[in-house]
Amino acid sequence: MDYSNRLKKLPNQFFASLVGKVNHAIAEGRDIINLGQGNPDQPTPNHKALQMAVEDPQTHKYSPFRGLFELKKAASYFYKRQFNVDIDPETEVSILFGAKAGLVELPFCLLNDGDLMLLPDPGYPDYLSGAALANVNYQTFPLKKENKFLPDYNAIPVEQKQAAKLMYLNYPNNPTGATANHDFFKETVDFASKNQITIVHDFAYGAIGFDGKRPISFLEIKGAKKVGVEMYTLSKTYNMAGWRVGFAVGNPIVIEALNLLHDHMYVSLFPAIQQSAITALTNDQKCVEKLVNMYELRRNSFIHACLEIGWKVDSPAGSFFAWLPVPEGYTSEEFADYLLDKANVAVAPGIGFGKNGEGFVRVGLLEDTDRLVEAVKRIGKLGIFL
């Protein structure tokens, strides 16, 4: 027996190595402050909705193939309330097993063998998994600090613009914490229309914006639904990462393609989880406001502590990540290893997000404020930034 060629083409899981290093350090009895993860640390609000749903025998039957229509209506209601975007629950919503599933599946739905897709660098590593499994080609476009970690569409080679059929974006951004504005998304719609490229906006951190600025949905821009879709997950907004529930909204052709694939792969999500997702999307959003305020407090305390030790860092505008420059003399992986070995602090090396991630490390603001500040103090004692 042997693996298929598709499985053989899958990229190495870079962060499996990081997890192994952290677990080894913990097994040695060391007090590791793990800032390398992207897993929300807070409990799920309103989790009793799941308990109540599970007690209903009807929720233990098969769900409709394409999910509960009530959940699609809840997603439509959510988008209208949060972003003033009209979504047709009949034709413009696809229920997902978490946004990651949709992001990995979409190349299967829209591309043929050898077709080209464009991906951000640095970017979420699992975008590459979709390209490999669908047997398609990809090129990356750089996200650079001098351009506020936004792509420069004019710098993309003409031959790539002409050949590409699919492009992924992600704001608020993982790993950089950058956000996008209306002008950028309008430019994106114009770029996609001119070059006949389908846009997929990964909106995983769509609830998490700081300094009083709400993250912008790609679909708020006129004409966006003609050129693409947006993926939303409940993982970050409601701390439901392990529940694996999300949805795609937007262009009806893309939505139908996802639904058709799901018809052949799944019988949709456990209905009790869908019922809980309805509760999350339609209830008041005070729990979300509280969560964002907590992340902003953590961000402020962490960034302030970094500046105090002489680490010249920028403050993220959104997400729950900070993107920090590596001091001279280190690669991102060498610096991450050094912090783990000498300070008992784990961070994610930027190279794991693409070659343009070199020179940075990613920190997750997923420990309480005291632990975040303690991590910086430990790093400060190493004397690197003096």
Q: In what order do the strands lie in the sheet with 321-325?
A: 321-325, 360-364, 348-349
- The three-class DSSP label of residue 373 is helix
Q: Per-residue confidence of the chain (386 residues) as pLDDT tens digits?
A: 999 988 888 888 777 888 899 999 999 999 999 999 888 888 888 777 888 888 888 888 888 889 999 999 999 999 999 999 999 999 999 999 999 999 999 999 999 999 999 999 999 999 999 999 999 999 999 999 999 999 999 999 999 999 999 999 999 999 999 999 999 999 999 999 999 999 999 999 999 999 999 999 999 999 999 999 999 999 999 998 888 999 999 999 999 999 999 999 888 898 899 999 999 999 999 999 999 999 999 999 999 999 999 999 999 999 999 999 999 999 999 999 999 999 999 999 999 999 999 999 999 999 999 999 999 999 999 999 87
The DSSP line for 105-124 is HHHHHH--TT-EEEEEES--
The DSSP code for 74 is H
Question: Distances in Å between the alpha carbon of 331 and those of 327, 328, 335, 353, 358?
Answer: 9, 8, 6, 14, 7
Question: Distances in Å between the alpha carbon of 233 and those of 206, 238, 239?
Answer: 9, 9, 10
Digit-coded pLDDT (tens) for 53-99? 888 888 888 888 899 999 999 999 999 999 999 999 999 999 999 99
| Ramachandran class of 225: left when φ > 0, alpha when ψ lies in -120 to 50, beta otherwise | alpha
Gyration radius (Cα) of the chain, Å: 21
- The three-class DSSP label of residue 16 is helix
The DSSP line for 43-67 is PPTTTHHHHHHHTSGGGGSPPPTT-
Residue recorded with tokens 């490999």: 132
Pairwise CA distance, residues 228 & 249, whole Å? 9
